[in-house]
Structure 1
């Protein structure tokens, strides 16, 4: 399989200037560059620019997917919507990172799985994920906690980390982990969050608060009237220069105040979460195995009750003297052997099998197949 790397960058809060697009063109002659995006697929070579620096300077979101198992999502948010002290508790190892520039906070979320399944084509992935950026900007920290769970799963696989697991506490737990939004579910899939670990984590997560009703004209009019004249002029100027994608969100933040993230303190250690997820996974597998065994036992009992007609089918297959029919006869005999054994009639089966072998001893193709499947 050839190498595959997919890079996508999106500018959401403001379009790229012509000069900025030219600067990006210097990084790649093949990339598709517009006023709001940079996309390219590499089957050999690599992007010459540093994605972190590109997001710091030009873009608000970046997605990176490879066929060796790397999934990476980077987001840039204005500092006033999410601050570094809030994000830092969710950083873990090199897989979840947060830092700031003069104006923005940046998040770098990575999942690596060399053994995971992969299908080429990531063109629609960022569109499904981008909603978590607005969620973070409005105080919903579930995306950060989901990223932490993803990093914790990878950390679990590292050697000699048990003592660190015991010492490390989970970050603040946001509400609503048991009822994720569509973008959050897409993030869960993209970062390969373990389902059992998420189930365990959600046990300490309160229900998500109900969304406040959409503000009406009557609600907003007095708030807008109270804004300073200078601030109104700045907002109108942004609108006139457009497109200003976040203008509505920023204005509502200004009118109502930035939402304070609602969380409960993290009290469980990483080891407790991982152990609880392992127990849940083991219990589920045991239930599944029990259900499969019960279903198989019912099938064997039913087959034993229909043994007479099954022996007739076997004889009919053998009578055709065809290779494929011999294989079908052997399959039925194997199933009958298990059915007789399940009902405690092994002796009856072997007596009948002995007669069958004697009756057809001059058919070497059949006898060879019986011997190969230990039907003696």
Structure 2
């Protein structure tokens, strides 16, 4: 049996020069390679390189999945973007590769049990640029999601700084992440409760001050930036900041308030009950909306019932399978509409006439046998 593997990597800051594309081509002769991306599928072989090494050297976001259930999501950040205190807990689902320039986050699923294909992978990949941008701007909720998932199974898990992020309203991209990685919703709600009940550190949203940054650049920094700009043809803000970063700004951050399993555990039952109540209310609202839409549809059909009988007969007279299918569909809709309007007797009268008019069309009547 063949095995399908999918790799997709993209560079968001700058371009892959000819030398980089040549090196990537040497790794895979069948990959689709552009100035910003690398994508390849394998059935019987595999990528001749470590994805983490490719990410650190060439790309900013990446995605891998195999049809036996393995999934890896790659997000590369400038060194020091996330504080060391945020990356110290042990997790099978989050791995960090670091060098002097970058922090590479790898979010992993060992066995994904739902159906997943290339289209699902492409859909999720569209969220990665926004998720990376959120992390770079100081919104570190993805790491907390992975901690919550691990905490659900490990009562001895090391803690995280308790930072006041908004866990009551998630972005579309974060919701997609939560669904893919099966993050327990009750634990997310419990964390929001913790933050409402206990002191925490204020989130530091990164605000870039161009004048201050430019003033602090050395001549060597400027020469480096000009050299990269000349070679690549463009230079993004994030790339320029990564190149000129002097130190890991978040590395030695001191935290007074911490999130631990013992801190969040007292809120779990309450969060679970609240979540179930909210889900029940949402379901009731959905059912009521669907019912209202169905009633409106049936009212419209009943109001146009003469036309629907005419359409059913026209389709029957086509004497073909698609015509019989369409006629059956119109008649079943009429049946529902008459029942909704408590006029079953009228439907039976018209239906008998229809059957008599089409008594020789056995294939059609067979489609209507549940109403005969």
Q: TM-score, normalised by structure 2?
A: 0.61
Say whether 1:8 aligns with 2:9. yes
Larger Rg: 1
1:175 — aligned with what? 165
Measured against aligned partners, the alpha-carbon deviations of 1:27-48 in whole angstroms (never above 9, x if no partner) come to 55666889x9783513331013
Say whether 1:215 aligns with 2:236. no
Give SS of 2:361's match. helix
Structure-2 separation of matches of 1:319 and 1:27: 61
Instruction: Confirm or deny: 8 A CA contact 1:61 1:76 kept in the other structure.
Output: yes
Alignment of 1:121-160 (within 5 A): 125=125, 129-130=128-129, 132-133=131-132, 135-137=134-136, 139-145=138-144, 152=149
Instruction: Confirm or deny: 8 A CA contact 2:168 2:189 kept in the other structure.
Output: no
2:339 — aligned with what? 341
Structure-1 separation of matches of 2:12 and 2:367: 69
Give SS of 2:62's match. strand
Identify which of 101, 109, 113 aligns with 2:107: 109
Identify which of 354, 364, 369 aligns with 1:373: 369
**Closer, same or farther: CA 15–346 of 1 in aligned 2, 3 Å:** closer
**Closer, same or farther: CA 354–312 of 1 in aligned 2, 3 Å:** closer
Structure 2 gaps, min length 5:
197-201, 230-234
Identify which of 293, 313, 319 aligns with 2:310: 313
1:164 — aligned with what? 153
Give the alignment's Cα RMSD to 1 decimal.
5.7
Aligned residues: 345
**Closer, same or farther: CA 212–78 of 1 in aligned 2, 3 Å:** closer
Which shifted more, 9-18 or 24-33?
Answer: 9-18
**Closer, same or farther: CA 79–302 of 1 in aligned 2, 3 Å:** closer
Give SS of 2:119's match. coil
Instruction: Confirm or deny: 8 A CA contact 1:88 1:98 kept in the other structure.
Output: no
1:158 — aligned with what? none
Structure-1 separation of matches of 2:248 and 2:316: 87
Instruction: Confirm or deny: 8 A CA contact 2:80 2:250 kept in the other structure.
Output: no
